[in-house]
Structure formats: structure tokens, C-alpha cells
Chain A
Amino acid sequence: MDSDDDFMSDASSQDFLDTQGSDDESLEDFGEELDGGFSQDKDIIAHSKKPYEVDFKVLGPDDIVREQNQQVVEVSAILGLPPESAAILLRFGRWNREKLIESYMDHSERILEEAGLGTTVEFTPHTQVISGFMCDICCEDGDDIETYAMRCGHRFCVECYRHYLSQKIKEEGEAARIECPAEGCHRIVDSKSLGLLVTDDLKDRYQTLLTRTYVDDKENLKWCPAPNCEYAIDCHVKQRDLQRIVPTVECLCKHHFCFGCTLNDHQPAPCTLVNMWLKKCEDDSETANWISANTKECPRCHSTIEKNGGCNHMTCRKCKHEFCWMCMGLWSEHGTSWYNCNRYEEKSGSEARTAQARSRASLERYLHYYNRYANHEQSAKLDKDLYLKTEKKMTSLQSQSGLSWIEVQFLDTASQALQQCRQTLKWTYAFAYYLARNNLTEIFEDNQKDLELAVESLSEMFEKPVPELAKLKVDILDKTAYCNKRRVILLSDTAENLKNGEWKFNVEW
């Protein structure tokens, strides 16, 4: 990787790389000498945007409505349609403007029909009293019933219409695609008709639901998954880019999550691997793995046997078959060498042994990574408990050591760094489980080890009793900075290699 061309020829990553501009030079250094020493570390940290970061924007509820309205107004002007109709068309076309305009230009009548608009769109809705009317829903008739019909002509009493709309909006959460109540009529109830018929609280709900479908429909928008958070993230990383990048975003509510799969921040592991890993961890198949590693089957009746002590002379409880636990061969062939099997080289039972060994090795490998993954998850939880106590700690530190509030903020910073580094470390183990060895994995493992050491030593300092904390302030500050730096280095390295397709994995994805 030595020129801008490399970056730009990669069409899929262009979207999120094009803002880097002047960073390219130092990124090159980094790419060429991954094993470079400390001098480069500084370069990375000096970047305004690091290799593992992506561009994104946080949108509040008002921004979303504004963006939506702006598009409606633009499309309405281009197509020469009233805004209500343009809005229905846009929702029908899932907010893909260009495609919508194009297909509208080609066959406008068909699009209008399919979107539930019909061809006559200039229309001011009003209710009417019609003599001799009978409502098909409630079967009321009379000459003084207020009625309403959209352009499709299906007329119902206002009361029924209102009930129908409130059922759809309140109970079914429907907004963008409410159809005319008549059977088989697919005309969409537009916002003007809706405004005429329903009460104000329903209009608000309707607006909220519309906003929701807007975010759901747009590929570049996603809701922040944090509870009660009403922000959405605008990020242009596409689904197809997820093999090359882990798009981690941070909402205004401080929640870090992956834009690709909306799970919590799982850098450096790509979404697909995260998905596989989580599935594997909750899968019962690992129980089966344990069984095959810790038990053997009777060579005759195949009952599963766990040996929990005693000699090698096994007599199957079920079929009374006598065999040797060590070589799985017939016991009668053992002659006089009872209780000490030296027949290991014999062919009998050798197949069973290799299968056993393979399964055991793969289980151990999995457990190696899983234990470390789980340990960091657990520790992060403990650190989090500690974080909740941090505030108390900071208060007591203030009173005991005479430090000011601002001077004890270092504990808060340290605690946040711990959380974030553990989150990263946790996923490095899932990542490593799927990583096929090449010369880059060693650098990765070194980075992992360095970060882990730094985190553990910071964690240890953090747990010290309050009186000692004041003395440790400089150390804790240093360690916090060091942890953060190691994390940046690890993430930059993995993200770079991921982007350039340097990692090889031992699974298909």
C-alpha cells in the first residue's frame, strides 16, 4: 500500500475514507511498517481520524423531521406534486429519491397507482353530509351523518373512519401505509385526510411513527439501541463494507455501538465473526464437545461412559463388554499386562483415539479463548460496579486528602478507560479464535498482551483503598493514558489489516 490510488480504487471503502485527505501520508507509514516502534505510535494518536474510526452524524428527533420534510419539499418541487403526495410516494419508494424520480418520469401513472395515490392528486379533503347514506362499517343510516371518502370514493361515516385510524395508529403502530378501510382498496390514507379526521394526540403519534419508518427505511440511518434514546445515527458504511470495517459509532447519549449490527461496540472483531462467536457461545454444541472430550463410548454397544476413577479394565454396565480404557481394545487381548496398558501402538481402537484427540484439542482451543473473553466480560462488570462506587470514592477522597472536585476527576477517567479497554480486549479473544495464523498475528498477540497487562495493572491500582489513591494519582493518570494508547494501537493495527484484507480467518464468512 503506497499510494492514494490504493485507497480510492477500493470502491467499497471510498465512502468513509474520502474525508481523510491529508492523513494519507502517515497512514502509509503505518501500513508499511506495522511492527514499527514508538515513534509511529505518536503518529497514529496525532491523527484526527484513526483507521478504526468512521464518519457519522447524530440526528435528534427534530433533525429527522427536518431532513424528511426537506426531501418531501424537494421531490414535490421536482415532480410538481403536492407535498402530501410526494411524501406518500417517497415512503412508497422507501426514500430512495433517485430511483423514485426516475421511475416516476418513466411511468408516472403506474407509480401513483401502486403507491395508493391514484392519478388525481389535487384535492382538498372535506367531510360531507349525504342524504340516504348508509355506512358499510356500522350500518347506521340517516340524513345527518357526517361522512368522508378519499378520492377512491369509498365513503364511511366519520365516526367509523376515526375509529379505524386510531386503531391503526394506536394499536397496530401503522402510519405510512394505512389503507382505505374498504375491502381490497389499497389507497393510502394521506396526511391531509388524516389531519382532518383524527384528534391532536393521535397526530403526534402519527408523526412519531412516520419518523420511525423514515429511519427504518433509510439505509444510512439507524436508531441508537440504548433504552429510551431517541437519537438516530447517520453513517454511510454499507452492509457490503462490513467485511472490511467495524463501524463503531457513539451516540449523544454516550452509548457506543456498532452501526453494522447495532450490538455494543465489538471492535476489533467484524460483525460476522461476532455473530458466529455469540452463537457458538450460547450453543449447546459445546456441551457435546465436553462429552466427547471427557467420555468414551463402549466399543460394542456405544453407551457413553465417563471414567471417574479405577483401573483400565472396563466392563460395560450395559452389555458386559470388557475393554481397556487406554487403547479401547479387547481386554482379553491384554494377556498378563493387566492394569498397565502397553498396547498403545496396536491398531485396535486407534481410530477412536484420534477422533477423541481431535475433539479434545478443538475444545481446549475454544475454551482458551472463551475463558479470556468471559473473564473480561466479567471484569468489566466488576469494574462497572466499581465505577458506580467511584463517585462515592471521589467524594471521600476530596474530604480526606483536601483535593478539589476537579482534581479527583482522574478516577472517573480511569474507570471509563478500564471499561472501554476491557470491551476491546474481550472481543480480541473472539477475533483471535477465528484468526488463522500468519506473521501478522504475532504482532496482534503482542498488542493484545500489552493492552492486557496495562489494563490489569490499572485495574489493580484502581481497587486500592481511598487513602492510597491520592498518592497514586500520577501513576493512575499515566496508566490510564497508557491503556488508551495501547488500545488505539491495537485497534488501528487490526482495522488497517482488516481494511486491506490482510487477515485470514479459519472460517468461511
Chain B
Amino acid sequence: MKEHLPPGIAIAKSENLEEWQMDIQVLDDNPLYRGQTYRLKFTFGSKYPIEPPEVQFIQSAAPDPRPIPIHPHIYSNGIICLDLLSSAGWSPVQTVESVCMSIQSMLTANSRDERPPGDADFVSYNRRRPRDINFFYDDDNV
């Protein structure tokens, strides 16, 4: 798989089949994400790929900084509100690569320099795992 990865997507960690980490970059000149690399953490359950993996951004500091990208569907704790990661929107045909590409394009298409509404509350109160949260995919435009 390594050799055929599309541009802007790289494997950062894939030692076992429970957790992978991927680095992604936004390739066009979007000022919100220019020059940054972001890290995604994939957690696979025993039923993957029938069940979706858990995917979220993780943060790390210098020397290898990995911030959480700003986006109206990405909470500041890295949790992503994306239909295809829910069990209803997931298709078993999806792969790590295709998920990365979807998230990449979700960033590329965005021009809004904002967090989701209620970010501060969600980040401080949420103790649930992303898959247990019922997101409302109310906005298909971003």
C-alpha cells in the first residue's frame, strides 16, 4: 500500500492492526492549512471493515508539530463529525486510504476559519467515544 499512496498522505505508524496513524497535508494553497501536516489516528475494532474504524485528529508539539486543523466539523479535541465515519454512512468498501482522501478533500473545500458551534462545551463535557455520539449531519455544504 505504501508505494501507491496518493500525494499528501503518508503512513506514520502501522505496527499492528489495532491502531494506525496517518499524516495528511492539504495540497492546494488553502491559507487555513498551508504548510501544515496533520495526524489522524485510526482505531480498528474486531469487526473492521464491516464496522467503521474510529478516526480522529491527534495533536503533538514541536519538534514535529501536529495541530488540530480548524474546520466547522472538527472539534478542537480532534473529533471529526463526518457522515462516512458513522455506522450509517460507512461502507465496508472504504479503506484507510479512501478515508484519508475524504478528510483531505473536506479540508480542501473549507474556507471557514471556525470550530463547530458549541465546541468549548463539547470538548469539556464529552467523555464518550466518537462512535457513540449522535452527530446531526445537518450541513452538507462544508
Nearest B residue (CB) for A137: B92
Bitwise interface map of A from 138 to 181 toward B, beta carbon under 8 Å scored 1, else 0:
10000000000000000010001001100100011000000001
Tell me the complex Cα distance, A423–B92, Å: 52
Nearest B residue (CB) for A161: B92
Bitwise interface map of B from 35 to 72 toward A, beta carbon under 8 Å scored 1, else 0:
00000000000010111000000000000000000000
Interface centre among B50, B87, B88, B98 (most CB of A within 10 A): B50
Tell me the complex Cα distance, A184–B50, Å: 15
Tell me if A4 counts as interface (CB < 8 A to partner B): no
- Which A residues, 370 to 384, have Cβ-Cβ distances below 8 Å to chain B? none
Tell me if A183 counts as interface (CB < 8 A to partner B): yes
Tell me the complex Cα distance, A138–B87, Å: 18
Residues A184 and B91 in contact, CB atoms below 8 Å apart: yes
Tell me if A24 counts as interface (CB < 8 A to partner B): no
Residues A181 and B93 in contact, CB atoms below 8 Å apart: yes
Tell me the complex Cα distance, A184–B47, Å: 21
Tell me if A442 counts as interface (CB < 8 A to partner B): no
Q: B50 — which chain A residues lie within 8 A by C-beta? A: 137, 160, 163-164, 167
Tell me the complex Cα distance, A156–B98, Å: 18
Tell me if B30 counts as interface (CB < 8 A to partner A): no
- Which A residues, 163 to 206, have Cβ-Cβ distances below 8 Å to chain B? 163-164, 167, 171-172, 181-185
Tell me if B14 counts as interface (CB < 8 A to partner A): no
Residues B93 and A137 in contact, CB atoms below 8 Å apart: yes
Residues A183 and B91 in contact, CB atoms below 8 Å apart: yes
Bitwise interface map of B from 85 to 124 toward A, beta carbon under 8 Å scored 1, else 0:
0011001111000100000000000000000000000000
Residues A160 and B92 in contact, CB atoms below 8 Å apart: yes
Contact of B91 (CB < 8 Å), options: A163, A171, A181: A181
Bitwise interface map of B from 15 to 39 toward A, beta carbon under 8 Å scored 1, else 0:
0000000000000000000000000
Nearest B residue (CB) for A163: B50
Q: A478 — which chain B residues lie within 8 A by C-beta? A: none
Residues B87 and A136 in contact, CB atoms below 8 Å apart: no
Q: A164 — which chain B residues lie within 8 A by C-beta? A: 50, 92
Tell me the complex Cα distance, A190–B48, Å: 24
Q: A160 — which chain B residues lie within 8 A by C-beta? A: 50, 92
Tell me the complex Cα distance, A160–B88, Å: 17
Nearest B residue (CB) for A181: B92
- Which A residues, 124 to 139, have Cβ-Cβ distances below 8 Å to chain B? 136-138
Q: In angstroms, how far is the closest chain B Cβ from the Cβ of A474?
A: 60
Q: In angstroms, how far is the closest chain B Cβ from the Cβ of A183?
A: 4
Tell me the complex Cα distance, A185–B88, Å: 13
Q: B51 — which chain A residues lie within 8 A by C-beta? A: 167, 171
Q: A185 — which chain B residues lie within 8 A by C-beta? A: 91
Residues A182 and B91 in contact, CB atoms below 8 Å apart: yes
Nearest A residue (CB) for B87: A172
Residues A137 and B49 in contact, CB atoms below 8 Å apart: yes
Tell me the complex Cα distance, A167–B49, Å: 11
Nearest A residue (CB) for B92: A137
Tell me the complex Cα distance, A249–B86, Å: 39
Interface centre among B47, B49, B87, B91 (most CB of A within 10 A): B91
Tell me the complex Cα distance, A79–B32, Å: 54
- Which A residues, 279 to 312, have Cβ-Cβ distances below 8 Å to chain B? none
Q: A156 — which chain B residues lie within 8 A by C-beta? A: 92
Q: In angstroms, how far is the closest chain B Cβ from the Cβ of A179?
A: 8
Tell me the complex Cα distance, A172–B88, Å: 9
Residues B87 and A183 in contact, CB atoms below 8 Å apart: no
Contact of A183 (CB < 8 Å), options: B47, B88, B93: B93
Q: In angstroms, how far is the closest chain A Cβ from the Cβ of B134?
A: 13
Q: A163 — which chain B residues lie within 8 A by C-beta? A: 47, 50
Tell me the complex Cα distance, A137–B51, Å: 11
Q: In angstroms, how far is the closest chain B Cβ from the Cβ of A70?
A: 31
Q: A184 — which chain B residues lie within 8 A by C-beta? A: 91
Tell me the complex Cα distance, A193–B15, Å: 39
Q: In angstroms, how far is the closest chain A Cβ from the Cβ of B44?
A: 14
Q: B94 — which chain A residues lie within 8 A by C-beta? A: 183
Nearest B residue (CB) for A182: B93
Tell me the complex Cα distance, A136–B92, Å: 8
Nearest A residue (CB) for B98: A183
Nearest B residue (CB) for A154: B93
Tell me the complex Cα distance, A183–B49, Å: 13
Tell me the complex Cα distance, A164–B49, Å: 9
Tell me the complex Cα distance, A171–B132, Å: 13
Nearest A residue (CB) for B47: A167
Nearest A residue (CB) for B90: A183
Bitwise interface map of A from 205 to 238 toward B, beta carbon under 8 Å scored 1, else 0:
0000000000000000000000000000000000
Tell me the complex Cα distance, A156–B94, Å: 13
Tell me the complex Cα distance, A424–B36, Å: 67
Tell me the complex Cα distance, A164–B84, Å: 16
Q: A183-B93, A183-B94 are in contact. List 6 more A-B contacts (CB 8 A).
A: A163-B47, A164-B50, A167-B47, A167-B51, A171-B51, A172-B87
Could you list 20 A-B pairs, sorted by A, with CB under 8 Å? A137-B50, A137-B93, A138-B49, A160-B50, A160-B92, A163-B50, A164-B50, A164-B92, A167-B47, A171-B51, A172-B87, A172-B88, A181-B91, A181-B92, A181-B93, A182-B91, A182-B93, A183-B93, A183-B94, A183-B98
Chain A interface (Cβ < 8 Å from any Cβ of B): 136-138, 156, 160, 163-164, 167, 171-172, 181-185
List the 5 shortest-distance A-B pairs measured between CB atoms, nearest first.
A183-B91, A137-B92, A167-B50, A136-B93, A163-B50
